[in-house]
Copies of this chain bind each other. A is one copy, B any other.
Amino acid sequence: MDVIRAAQEMQKQSETWRTEGKTVGFVPTMGFLHEGHLSLIRLAKTFADRVVVSLFVNPTQFGPAEDFNAYPRDEEGDLKKISEEKADAAFVPPASEMYPEGFQTVVQLKEITRGLCGASRPGHFDAVATVVLKLFHLVQPHVAVFGEKDYQQLAVIRRMVKDLNLPIKIVGGATVRSPEGLALSSRNAYLKDEEARRALKLSQAIRTVQGLFHGGETKSVRLKAEAGKILSDPMIVVEYVEIVDAETLKTSENVDRPARLLIAVKIGKTRLIDNGPVQT
């Protein structure tokens, strides 16, 4: 497996593959890879002849009070895992390569970035959209795979790709969970044992809402109330519980088209998100 650090080299490699008629798949990550990421690499391989995995902890998408410096990193371990999954290249650009002096361009999405995680993380999704667009131009993929775990991020990327006419197919990969139901996340590394146990309530809330919906309840306010009951816990600070349109992320009173239950909480110092489909 190639480890590519220079932006231009990445572009050249992809251009070579394309000239040879190969399709290119891409899995952008912030590293500290877990089984969730690895499932995305496997998914990308089913769509493309060549697969690139990027490792880049993007500084611009962290707020000043957020965990950029503390964010877990393990480049050596990550490269070993990417190699074991038989991806064709790891793209590991230094920040200086991504944001040289004079850099000043930002991609903004006006509506889809405003609510949910965007409400408490101003600028976060603009920074995500910008870095992903840069990576798209560098890796030139035919297909890019994102985890459904960051559901708003996936929706933002889909919207950006559509709005900017990028010739890239965006694929969402299902969230991978622990046997008990905890959605895998690099940030789970922060959780103490008791916190990890309480964190199981997120997936319990999702399953409960899905059960009620399949039992015939379609009022968003009632479904959210049931989720709220399960999340009611002195160790859990709920940031939001929302049921939104699966594509536009707009709220509606009734679930009458594909929707998604989205949850964000803080347990101790750790911010966790999870989500699941609410649809027939």
Q: Name A's B-contacting residues (CB within 8 A).
A: 7, 11, 15, 18-19, 21, 100, 102-112, 129-130, 133-134, 137-138, 140, 159-160, 162-167, 248
Contacts and interface: CB of A to CB of B under 8 A. Distances in A.
Query: Which 10 A-B pairs give the minimum distances between C-beta atoms?
Result: A105-B163, A104-B110, A137-B165, A106-B108, A134-B165, A138-B165, A104-B111, A105-B109, A137-B166, A103-B163
A105 B164 contact: yes
B108 A105 contact: yes
Contact of A159 (B105, B129, B164): B105
B110 A106 contact: yes
A20 to B, nearest CB: 11
Contacts of A134: 163-165
Contacts of A162: 100
Main secondary structure of the interface of A (DSSP, over half): mixed
Contact of A109 (B15, B104, B112, B138): B104
Given A165-B134, A165-B137, A167-B15, A159 B104 contact: yes
**Max chain B C-beta neighbours (<10 A), residue from A110, A112, A159, A167:** A167
Contacts of A110: 104-106
Nearest to A113: B104
A137 B165 CA distance: 6
A129 B108 CA distance: 12
A134 B102 CA distance: 23
Contacts of A129: 105
Nearest to A102: B248
Contacts of A111: 104
